[in-house]
Amino acid sequence: MKKLILLFSMSLIFNSCINSTNDCDVKSNGFAPNPGQTVMMGSQSTVDVFKEIDKAWADRDYEALKTFISDNATLEFEDGQIAKNGEEFTAILESKYQESLSDENKEWAWVNTYAFAIKPSKPEGTNFDNNRGEWVTAGFEGSDGFYMEWYQIENGKLLKWSQTKRSQSK
């Protein structure tokens, strides 16, 4: 009888483990700009690429920075300037750096206050441009305001980047 109860108990435990419902569905929430897309968390590896980009930028290591930029990139600054590749991007950065040297209220430094990666879902049968890679959003406190930036990164390359700025309130 003890063997029968033990066998029955083991059977219940085994069956409960087999029949347990694992919630393996991809977690998403919100919505993205294209029909049927939701938003999911991205990966730490994409945030790590962003950190390398930010370091090269802060160090003014333009050669390293160029290695992260796709040849067909679209890079939009908060003041409306647009670059299409690493050469154009770093030329604008250097111009902004030189400008900062002549403005005593502007400093070529910032503090990265947050960064996280997301990605839109890829509804079956779609090939939306924003499906490529993952997106990092990052915030920066600078001497002249707060910047919010979006980085679309695929295979370690920056495809799209945009920047907005909120001026400091006085």
In the chain, what are the domain boundaries? 41-167
What global pTM score does this model have? Answer: 0.81
Is the per-residue pLDDT at 59 higher than 50? Answer: yes
Range from 5-19, 44-58, 102-116 carrying the lowest mean pLDDT: 5-19
pLDDT at residue number 46? 98
CATH number for the segment(s) 41-167: 3.10.450.50
Tell me the C-alpha to C-alpha distance, in Å, between residue 102 and each of 60, 77, 78, 83, 107. Answer: 17, 20, 20, 24, 10
pLDDT in tens, 61-95: 999 999 999 999 999 999 999 999 999 999 999 99
pLDDT at residue number 62? 98
Mean per-residue pLDDT over the chain, rounded: 86
pLDDT in tens, 101-111: 887 767 778 99
Kindly provide the residue ranges of all beta strands, DSSP E only, lying in the chain, ordered along the sequence: 39-41, 69-76, 82-83, 110-120, 134-142, 145-154, 157-167
pLDDT at residue number 31? 80
pLDDT at residue number 139? 97
